[in-house]
Amino acid sequence: MAAEKGGLRRILGVGFGLAVIVGSTLGIGILRTPGLVAAQLASRSGILAVWLLGGLYTLLGSVCLTELGTMLPRAGGYYVYARRAFGDTAGFAVGWSDWITYCAVLGYVTIAMGEFSAVLAPSLGPAIKPIAVAVLGLFALLQWAGVRISSRFQEATTAVKFLAFLALVAACFAHAAASPSPEGGPAVLRPDGPGFVGLVVALQSVAITYGGWQSALYFTEEDRDPRRNLPRSMIGGVLSVLVIYLLVNLALLSVLPVGALSRSTLPAADAAKAIFGGRGGQMITLLSLVSLPPLVNAIMMIGTRILFAMGRDGLLWRGAAAVNDRGTPVRATLVTTAVAAVLIGTGTFQKLVAVAAFFLAVNYCVCCLALIVLRRREPRLERPFRAWGYPWSAGIVLIGAAAFLTGVLLGDTRTALVAMGLLAAGLLGRLWSSRR
């Protein structure tokens, strides 16, 4: 099958859409965050309510952005919507910062794979960074093999991860049925909880664990029928993650009392130790390691699509839009891999991970505004899927996104300034290249 116009191959479907959302969302966050949430609320019903509320808010965001994805089914995700609504400069700013974010996360996740490998095999301890770079190289080769192979890898590894989390849930419930949990003592609460501030902290923590729900938006140009498949992928993916998150919390609460859960920094490991004894920690490390390959694959695919789209539109080096006969943006893949490897080697990815939180918050706000602007400015543009409950749904999502951005700004102003510096550097680089 030859590459289609624009270079990308239209061969993906709902299976890949679900896999890329679940694969890039479900992971280490749900293994760690339940303890933080429990420390803020210290109530079984409150804990479950916050996880449900966070999932429903994410679902609302997904239906709003699904309207944009089906209306503008082009590779690049957030960049495409910002450019259509606000012009080339805003589009470049969103695309540039989005790409930097994914490069930083690539460095972070591959380092995590090296660290988990060293926990399972301590002799690998001195080789964590080489392992991370080697993992990057292997995933770059996987991309080179073509979108059909990389998409099937995404589907298979996500299925394995999904089943592994279900196995953890089943083990917790089975243990609880066989031996009731001992009393865990009173919950350890923050001085400001469980009041309004504690609730806000809990909601922010939960919202972060849902990061990745937007992943299918970056592949609409490669979907066989984005009008039908994107809504199914976005809604089905978020609902799948929501169900797993609720099941994991119920499972942890069946093994650990609320007091013990509120004191735990890695509650999944504590639950596994209660069930399997000394091997429990290793089992959770293995589960964490299993959760990372589909995440790395999804991030690499997303990062290359952003670079491809910006190159094709002339906002970056046009060579980034080169695609091989298997549907892979080869030069974009090489550049993304090389930048992530440099970040690993220099350790600067650690600083950029904090910057990524700022960029994600800003870009989400911009895209929420893009939905509103395009509704008003281009009302006759075909919209195969319309956001449920608009304009109230868009208003709620925008308020939540703005609140999250405000929290990031107030919580780490220095990092926000670094992020603005990186953004300014990108804009100056674009200005220089355009003048040439």
The predicted pLDDT at position 426 comes to: 77
pLDDT band at 195 (very low <50, low <70, confident <90, very high): low
pLDDT band at 434 (very low <50, low <70, confident <90, very high): low
pLDDT band at 191 (very low <50, low <70, confident <90, very high): very low
Stretch among 2-6, 125-129, 133-137 having the lowest mean pLDDT: 2-6
The predicted pLDDT at position 4 comes to: 43
CA 285 to CA 278: how far, in whole Å? 12
Matching residue, tokens 């600083």 = 351
SS3 292: coil
- Kindly report, residue by residue over 253-312, the tens digit of the pLDDT: 999 988 888 888 889 999 999 888 878 888 999 999 999 999 999 999 999 999 999 999
Amino acid at 142: L
| Mean pLDDT value across the chain | 89
Decide: 365 and 394 in contact? Cβ < 8 Å. no
CA 340 to CA 285: how far, in whole Å? 24
Decide: 311 and 317 in contact? Cβ < 8 Å. yes
CA 303 to CA 19: how far, in whole Å? 17
Average pLDDT over residues 322-332: 94
The predicted pLDDT at position 350 comes to: 67
Written as one string, the DSSP assignment of 173-191 is HHHHHHSPPPP--S----T
Average pLDDT over residues 334-348: 90
The predicted pLDDT at position 414 comes to: 79
Average pLDDT over residues 115-127: 91
* pLDDT surpassing 60 at residue 188: no
Q: Which domains does the chain have, with CATH numbers?
A: 14-435 (1.20.1740.10)
Sorted by sequence, the CB contacts under 8 Å of residue 208 that are 6+ apart come out as: 29, 33, 357
* pLDDT surpassing 70 at residue 407: yes
* pLDDT surpassing 60 at residue 108: yes
Say how many residues make up the chain. Answer: 436
Sorted by sequence, the CB contacts under 8 Å of residue 301 that are 6+ apart come out as: 20, 143, 150, 154, 218, 219
Decide: 282 and 120 in contact? Cβ < 8 Å. yes
Cα-based angle 189, 183, 287 (whole degrees, multiple of 5): 80
Other CB atoms within 10 Å distance of the CB of residue 420? 14
Cβ burial, residue 436 (10 Å; 0-12/13-18/19+): exposed
Sorted by sequence, the CB contacts under 8 Å of residue 412 that are 6+ apart come out as: 354, 357, 358
Higher pLDDT, residue 420 or 129: 129
SS3 327: coil
Long-range contacts of 405-412 (CB under 8 A, 24+ apart): 405/358, 405/361, 405/362, 405/364, 405/365, 407/200, 407/204, 408/357, 408/358, 408/361, 409/358, 412/354, 412/357, 412/358
Chain center to CA of 215: 7
Stretch among 86-95, 180-189, 251-260, 355-364 having the lowest mean pLDDT: 180-189
Matching residue, tokens 């220089």 = 432
SS3 12: strand
- Percent residues over pLDDT 70 in the chain: 93
Residue in 320, 300, 301 with CA at minimum distance from that of residue 309: 320
- Kindly report, residue by residue over 50-103, the tens digit of the pLDDT: 999 999 999 999 999 999 999 999 999 999 999 999 999 999 999 999 999 999
Phi–psi pair at 223, nearest 5 degrees? -85, 140
* pLDDT surpassing 60 at residue 187: no
The predicted pLDDT at position 307 comes to: 95
The predicted pLDDT at position 416 comes to: 77
Residue in 77, 55, 78, 56 with CA at minimum distance from that of residue 369: 78
CA 55 to CA 199: how far, in whole Å? 15
